[in-house]
């Protein structure tokens, strides 16, 4: 007699991923429209499906359009991709413990499909480390992966078939990050310190190098700077209110 464990895990993963479905469909649709309207690629829906399936990154999906238009050198593309996605290496460290016993193929797919939203859901998994937890994380990654591919492909199909005014669409990713940043600043006042540092460094880079050349130098400065400041900005280093203590962090 089959046990209800597998369908219950699949249902839990699907329900948890529904907010990501809403976000990925809308953001992916915008990226797909831009790819279809602003580039001269033949068979745009094919390339939309291929790029969104191979590279699961919202920021890069929007940057692809600009890179294709400007024929950006591959070395620059590789450097920007590494810089933008370096944070996922930090995310992976938090998942080493729960997924330590996972088979290689499962770890490889979880690494490849890791996004900010998927990471947030995986760290809040309702299962203890073990087979159920692994299946839950794999299903979450698969669902989010399919949502992103579907959104980008639908956007490319619509952009290729219908006339679109793309003004403002390329601001969609920026708007999303601004909303996330605003929410984080409201919930954590200490997050304003790195935000101000990033604003100052990026502002100086824009003034000195220009908006089109500021990204790589800004990232190259901020990553080592924040690594140096991490002991001062970490939750354990923050002053505690009377009667409160820093929560224990377990690996």
pLDDT tens-digit map of 108-152:
898 888 888 888 888 778 888 888 889 999 999 999 999 999 999
What is the band of 191 on the pLDDT scale with cuts at 50, 70, 90?
confident
What CA–CA distance (Å, rounded) separates 53 from 153?
Answer: 10
- The pLDDT score that the predictor gives to residue 251 is 34
Average pLDDT score, the chain: 79
- The pLDDT score that the predictor gives to residue 250 is 38
pLDDT for 172-186, tens place per residue? Answer: 667 766 766 776 677
- The pLDDT score that the predictor gives to residue 1 is 44
Is residue 190 scored above 50 in pLDDT? yes
SS3 assignment, position 154: helix
**Contact predicate 141/114, CB 8 Å:** yes
Other Cβ atoms within 10 Å of 198 Cβ, number:
16
Select the highest-mean-pLDDT range: 49-63, 85-99, 127-141: 127-141
Is residue 249 scored above 60 in pLDDT? no
Q: Which residues of 40-52 are buried (b: 16+ CB within 10 A; e: fewer)?
A: ebeebbebbbebb
The answer to which of 24-38, 68-82, 85-99, 216-230 has the lowest mean pLDDT is 85-99
Other Cβ atoms within 10 Å of 90 Cβ, number:
9
Share of residues in the chain with pLDDT > 70 (%):
83
Is residue 2 scored above 60 in pLDDT? no
Of residues 155 and 40, more confidently modeled: 155
- The pLDDT score that the predictor gives to residue 211 is 78
- The pLDDT score that the predictor gives to residue 123 is 79
What is the band of 60 on the pLDDT scale with cuts at 50, 70, 90?
confident
């Amino acid at each position: 007699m089959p046990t209800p464990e597998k369908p219950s895990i699949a249902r839990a993963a699907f329900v948890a991923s529904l907010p990501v479905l809403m976000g990925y469909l809308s953001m992916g649709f915008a990226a797909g429209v831009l790819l279809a309207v602003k580039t001269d690629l033949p068979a745009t829906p094919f390339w939309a499906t291929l790029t969104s399936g191979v590279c699961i990154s919202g920021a890069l999906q929007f940057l692809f359009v600009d890179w294709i238009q400007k024929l950006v050198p591959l070395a620059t593309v590789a450097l920007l991709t590494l810089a933008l996605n370096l944070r996922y290496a930090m995310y992976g460290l938090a998942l080493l413990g729960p997924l330590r016993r996972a088979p290689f193929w499962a770890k490889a797919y979880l690494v490849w499909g890791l996004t900010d939203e998927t990471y947030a859901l995986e760290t809040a998994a309702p299962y203890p480390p073990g087979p159920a937890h692994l299946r839950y994380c794999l299903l979450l990654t698969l669902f989010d992966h399919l949502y992103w591919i579907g959104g980008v492909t639908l956007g490319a199909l619509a952009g290729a078939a219908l006339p679109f005014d793309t003004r403002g669409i390329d601001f969609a990713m920026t708007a999303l990050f601004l909303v996330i940043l605003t929410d984080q600043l409201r919930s954590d006042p200490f997050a304003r310190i790195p935000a101000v540092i990033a604003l100052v460094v990026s502002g100086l880079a824009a003034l000195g190098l220009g908006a089109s050349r500021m990204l790589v130098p800004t990232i190259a400065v901020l990553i080592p700077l924040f690594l140096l400041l991490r002991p001062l900005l970490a939750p354990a280093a923050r002053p505690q209110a009377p009667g409160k203590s820093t929560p224990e962090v377990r690996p």
